[in-house]
A and B are shown apart, each in its own frame.
Chain A
Amino acid sequence: MNTSTSTKVSPRDRVTGTPFTRGLGILVLAGMVLLIVLGLFVSPADVNQGESVRIMYAHVPGAWLAYLAFIVTAVSSAAYLWNRTRSLTWDRIAGASAEVGVLFMGISLITGSLWGRITWGTYWTWDARLTTTAFLFVTYIGYLAVRGLGGTHQQRARRSAVLALLAVLEIPLVHFSVELWNTLHQEASVAGRGTNVDMDGLMLFTLFLGVVVFTLMYVWLVLHRQRSLTLDDMLDDSGLDNALTARRAEAEGMAR
Chain B
Amino acid sequence: MDNAGFIIASYIITFGAVGAYAVGVIRRSRKSARDIPRDQRPWL
Do chains A and B make direct contact within the complex (CB under 8 angstroms)? yes
Binding site for B on A (CB under 8 A): 1-2, 5-9, 13, 15-16, 18, 32, 36, 39-40, 45, 50-52, 54-55, 58-59, 62, 100, 103, 106-107, 110-111, 114-115, 117-118, 217, 220-221, 224-225, 227-228, 230-232, 234-235, 238
Contact of B41 among A52, A54, A231 (CB under 8 A): A231
Bound CA–CA A114/B12 (angstroms): 12
Contact of A238 among B4, B18, B25, B36 (CB under 8 A): B36
List of 8 A-B pairs having minimum Cβ-Cβ separation, nearest first: A228-B29, A231-B32, A15-B33, A58-B14, A111-B10, A55-B10, A16-B29, A114-B6
B22 to chain A, nearest CB (A): 6
B37 to chain A, nearest CB (A): 7
Name the residue of chain A whose CB is nearest to the CB of B21: A103
Q: How many residues of B contact A (CB 8 A)?
A: 34
Contact of B17 among A45, A55, A106 (CB under 8 A): A106
When chains A and B are docked, how far (Å) is the Cα of A100 from the Cα of B17?
11
For B31, the closest partner residue in chain A by CB is A9
Q: How far is the CA of A54 from the CA of B7 in the complex (A)?
A: 7
With A55-B6, A117-B6 as known contacts, state yes or no: A107 contacts B36, CB within 8 Å.
no
B 15-33 binary contact with A (CB < 8 Å = 1; else 0) = 1011001100110111011
B14 pairs with A6, CB closer than 8 A? no
For the complex, give the distance between the alpha carbons of A111 and B37 in Å: 42
**Contact: B43 with A18, CB < 8 Å?**
yes
Cross-chain pairs A/B with CB under 8 angstroms, 7 sampled:
A9-B30, A16-B25, A51-B3, A111-B10, A114-B7, A221-B18, A234-B40
Q: A51 to B34: give the CA distance in the assembly, Å.
A: 48
9 additional A-B pairs beyond A107-B14, A231-B41, A232-B28, beta carbons within 8 Å, are A9-B34, A40-B7, A40-B11, A55-B7, A103-B17, A103-B18, A115-B10, A234-B40, A235-B36
What CA separation (Å) do A115 and B5 show in the bound complex?
Answer: 11
Contacts of B41 in A (CB 8 A): 15-16, 227, 230-231
In the assembly, what is the distance between CA of A166 and CA of B41, in Å?
33
Indicate if the CB atoms of A114 and B10 lie closer than 8 Å.
Answer: yes
Asked whether A118 and B34 contact (CB < 8 A) given A107-B14, A225-B25, the answer is: no
Contacts of A40 in B (CB 8 A): 7-8, 11
Nearest-CB residue, chain B, relative to A230: B42
